[in-house]
Every structure is written in C-alpha cells, then in structure tokens.
Amino acid sequence: MKPVRIGVLGLGTVGAGAVNVLQRNAAEIARRAGREIIVTRASARDLQRQRNCDTQDIELTTDPCQIIADPKIDIILELIGGDTLARDLVLQAVANGKHVVTANKALIALHGNEIFDKASAAGVMIAFEAAVAGGIPIIKALREGLSGNQIEWLAGIINGTGNFILTEMRDKGRDFADVLAEAQELGYAEADPTFDVQGIDAGHKLTILASIAFGIPLQFDKVYTEGITEITRSDVAYAEQLGYRIKHLGIARKTGRGIELRVHPTLIPERRLIANVDGVMNAVLVKGDAVGPTLYYGAGAGADPTASAVVADVIDVVRVMTSDPENRVPHLAFQPDALADIPVLPMEQVETAYYLRLQAEDKPGVLADITRILADHRISIEAIIQKEPVAGETTLPVIMLTQKTMEREMNAAISKIENLATITGKVTRIRVETLG
C-alpha cells in the first residue's frame, strides 16, 4: 500500500515536534496505522531560520497554499495558529478533498461548526485532539471511551500558564505580577498574556469539551470568562486556612435548566486530586452517570506532548481514510443531525457557593449589617474568618464562605455591601466548587 503523504503548515514548536515524532517513531507508527506515513512538504514564514527538526527530505515553501493544492498530499497538519488565515487554509484543504489535523483551539471553538459541516459534505475528517490539554487524550476519552455515558459535568485545569502562576503564589507567597513576569521569561506566557490570564484560552478549550460532552453546537460566545489577575496572595493564603486551593477552572455542567459554561478562579477542597495538580500541568475531571468521576492528567503544552496528540490524530485518520464517511466517529461525538439545542445559561442563573473577602471598618454592628444583607438575599454563611486590624489601621479583612446561591442574588448582595459606608473598596468574590 502506498505511503500516506503529509503536508505541514507551520514549523514552529508544535510543527517541528510533530515532524520529529513522525520521523523518530516512523516504524512503530507504520505498524499501528498499517501504512507508512511520511512528511513530504512543509511551509514556514522564514526558510532560512534554523529548525528544531530534520527537514532534509522535506520540500519547504513560504506559501501554504501550494501544499494545499498539491494533489500528492493526503493529510494537512494545520499548526500555524490563529483563527483567520488558519480558517481559510483549512476550508481550502477541505474543498480540495484533504483530511486535516489541527492543534488550533481558537479555530475549532470559533469556526468549528462551519468547518465540520463542510468537511462532512466533502467526506473528509478534521481531527483536533491536540487542541485541548496538549498530550492528554481527553477528546478521545469523551468522544469514544465515555460514549456510553451521559456526561453530567466536567471541570478542568486547561491552561498551564494560569496554573503555574497560582501554584507559585501558593507555594512561595509571591504576587501575581511577579510570577507572571517569570512565566514570560520561562516561555510559559506570551508577551501579551491576555488569553492565558483572562481565561480566553481556557474558554476556547471548554467550548470544545462541552460540545463533545453534551452534544451541543460550539458556542464560544456564550462562555463566561473571568481571569486570575485580581487574585492576591492573601486570597491564596485564606483559601488554604479554610481547607481549599484556588485553581483557574473551566467548568461545564448540564442542569435541568440548561448548560453552564464558565471559566473563573475557583476554590476547590484541598483533598480533591485536581486541587493538587500544580505547575504547568493540566487535568480534566469528568463525571459520567455510569462510570462516575474520572480524572485525566498530563502535560498540556510543549513540543512533544502536543506532537503526541497530533500524530495520534494522523494515525486515526490514516486508519479510516478508505472507510465509508458515514461510519466514522462524528467530529463532535454525536451525529451531526442529532446535536441538541440545549440553552446555555447566562452566568446570573448559575448556582454555586462563594468565597467573599472584604475590608470593613473595625466598629460594632458592621458584621451584622453584612450578614443581614446576605440573609435578605437568602444567602447562608458557611464560615467566617475575621482578622485583627493591623496596627494603625482602622479597617480589617473579613473572609466568608457561603452556601450555594444563585449568582444574581450574590451580585445584588455584593452591590449593597459595597455601598455600606463601613466597607472600603470592592468585595472580592471567588466561586467555590466541591467537585464531589
């Protein structure tokens, strides 16, 4: 059987990693796929730049369209990133009858519905395991391994940069800005870290996971995102005192009223396994009705871990290239005509518990005023920490854990608390999930 020919768009970290794995493990890959798989062409913006892979037998070009138009290329690896040029290139590859493997979460989250529709019509596959959690095969687990389950909820640490920052803040008592600067020096965070620290990157990934878990269209515009920039080392320390750890989680939950899609800092009981995932590592916790809770852990980024997922997708595509398109595993796990129009709940309708930190004047009656406002909105208090004021200060920090309540009730209560003359500044609010 003739070899399968691969065209790689982008020879950056992931592209070079994929070439290395395909070359290094060529014999083992051929044994698994049933055919030899070779990279014959690749595109890069700068052909003179030194590569982290062997390109001696690969024809290089600065024009990715040449590769897409090449009739000898069977599979395109889209590894350039972004969601504009990448979208155009992938749609052109589909129109040319080529299968596509991508690691591009923004592309799938924002344009996946359109791309999958056109790919299905053309009889080609779009594989995207590497788009979420790097080398962790979470998409395959959800789409195939757990396909006999109704997925009830999932929660994931799906951005390594944010997890590194929060880990350093907890372990070493450092400030957010200080750790972010180190993350940029180490290459964990971009020069513009907005996507990582504001939850946008995690939101893209959560969009994909939720679609596969619940059989709904991709809907990134309905994901609530909140970053970690306002988390202080004091919050991290107070959480520890209360028996919790702060993680930047992506959470998707199916309820009787609709689906929750949210990314935000979250207090998790320290005894949970996912609360002990540190540094740049990723983890996704999935609760199915039959299997119960399952945890998937590993490297969420990097050349080799991401390449591992890319190459696994290539093997999957090669295995089914000659099969009837109607009998392939659907892109989003459910048959395209069976995707459900379940509403995504606005954040105000989400119910969860809360950690509150506020700065109050040290005088009688202040705590009573706060608890009365919470009671008026049917919010019960689980625990309170009231610190002594620092010498010379007239205010002191008050930390509260509440029981579950609707977000809109908490919004209203916080607004009233902040308007009290005895409260200084804004109330810090972090949501609490037991993940039990």
- Which of 166-170, 321-325, 355-359 is predicted with the least confidence, judged by mean pLDDT? 321-325
Tell me the pLDDT tens digit for each residue of 13-44.
999 999 999 999 999 999 999 999 999 999 99
pLDDT of 390 reads 72
Mean predicted confidence (pLDDT) in 371-379: 97
**How far apart, in whole angstroms, are the C-alpha atoms of residue 1 and residue 111?**
35
pLDDT band at 350 (very low <50, low <70, confident <90, very high): very high
Q: How far is CA 30 from CA 262, 305, 324, 367, in A?
A: 41, 20, 22, 69
pLDDT band at 393 (very low <50, low <70, confident <90, very high): confident
- What residues act catalytically? 205
First to last CA, the chain: 51
CATH superfamily, domain 351-432, is ACT domain (3.30.70.260)
Within 129-190, strands assigned E span 151-157
pLDDT higher than threshold 80 for residue 198: yes
Q: CATH assignment of 138-299?
A: 3.30.360.10
Residue 46 Cα to chain centre, angstroms: 30
pLDDT higher than threshold 90 for residue 326: no
Where do the domains of the chain lie?
Answer: 4-135+303-338, 138-299, 351-432
pLDDT of 322 reads 76
**How far apart, in whole angstroms, are the C-alpha atoms of residue 26 and residue 341?**
43
Residues of the chain by 3-state class (helix, strand, coil), percent to 5? 40, 25, 35
Tell me the pLDDT tens digit for each residue of 123-157.
999 999 999 999 999 999 999 999 999 999 999 99
Q: Six-digit token pair at 144? A: 């195939």
Work out the angle between the directed axes of helices 407-418 and 366-376 (0-180°, nearest 10). 150
Helices (H) and strands (E) in the chain, counts: 14, 17
Say if residue 182 is exposed, middle or buried (CB neighbours under 10 Å; 0-12, 13-18, 19+).
middle
- Class level of CATH domain 4-135+303-338: alpha beta
pTM of the model: 0.95
**How far apart, in whole angstroms, are the C-alpha atoms of residue 75 and residue 98?**
6
